[in-house]
A and B are shown apart, each in its own frame.
Chain A
Amino acid sequence: EDQVTQSPEALRLQEGESSSLNCSYTVSGLRGLFWYRQDPGKGPEFLFTLYSAGEEKEKERLKATLTKKESFLHITAPKPEDSATYLCAVNSGNTPLVFGKGTRLSVIA
């Protein structure tokens, strides 16, 4: 059974204070690892897909990396508008995405 564990559960940063979110996974044959952002009252919004160890993707202040056991979402010089819950999910075979419980990020001005 695919499993995804995210840490920390909650993270509070000062504006400009860079940090990383962790996603550890156990899956039989990774087909893709996904990062989503979810704002209150909205559905998850797709950020990145990573397919193989060593892969990296960037979008504005966010950078996602992947190893064989975990993924990191690095946030560089965050702004208050980066405050959201960040969700990690994995896909193996034809099974639906399995999500972690998310990291709730708060960026304080």
Chain B
Amino acid sequence: DTAVSQTPKYLVTQMGNDKSIKCEQNLGHDTMYWYKQDSKKFLKIMFSYNNKELIINETVPNRFSPKSPDKAHLNLHINSLELGDSAVYFCASSHQGTGYGYTFGSGTRLTVV
């Protein structure tokens, strides 16, 4: 069983469209994350989400909105897609607290044309 699974793996869409990426984890973790990896492979935190608290990175445009129906799922919805949104988006999960490693999904490569 895949620990952290993301769908779709590839997403090609036109500018201005709205799209969603889904993430599910079966590890029993209580915290989930979205990271963006740019063309230079730099991983940057976008959001972290615990059952009770959503932490938003200030540099993330408000066109990006995470939604968590339960603690095993964290989806990412993106409105009005722009060319600069093209990147690989990774979902990850962990136990909340200090010093716990994250388990990452295999990523969603988003290409905006």
Which of B43, B99, B103 is A46 in contact with, Cβ under 8 Å?
A: B103
Contacts of B97 in A (CB 8 A): 94
Taken residue by residue from 90 to 111, chain B's Cβ proximity to chain A (1 for < 8 Å, 0 otherwise) reads as 1010001111111111110000
What is the CA–CA distance of A93 and B40 in the complex, to the nearest angstrom?
27
Looking at A38, A41, A44, A102, the one whose CB has the most chain B CB atoms below 10 A away is: A44
Given contacts A91-B99, A94-B96, contact A101 B107 (CB under 8 A): no
What is the CA–CA distance of A109 and B92 in the complex, to the nearest angstrom?
34
Give the B interface residue count (CB, 8 A): 25
Given contacts A32-B98, A94-B96, A96-B55, contact A42 B45 (CB under 8 A): no
Please state if B42 and A99 are interface contacts (CB–CB under 8 Å).
yes
What is the CA–CA distance of A97 and B92 in the complex, to the nearest angstrom?
11
- Give chain A interface residues in 67-109, CB to chain B under 8 Å: 85, 87, 89, 91, 93-94, 96-99, 101-102, 104
List residues of B whose CB falls within 8 A of some A CB. 4, 33, 35, 40-45, 48, 55, 90, 92, 96-107
- A-B contacts, 22 listed (Cβ < 8 Å): A31-B99, A32-B98, A32-B100, A34-B101, A34-B102, A36-B104, A38-B41, A41-B107, A43-B92, A43-B107, A44-B43, A46-B102, A51-B99, A91-B98, A91-B100, A94-B97, A96-B33, A96-B45, A97-B102, A101-B41, A101-B42, A104-B41
- With contacts A44-B102, A46-B103 known, what are 7 further pairs, Cβ within 8 A? A32-B98, A32-B99, A34-B102, A44-B43, A44-B90, A49-B99, A104-B41
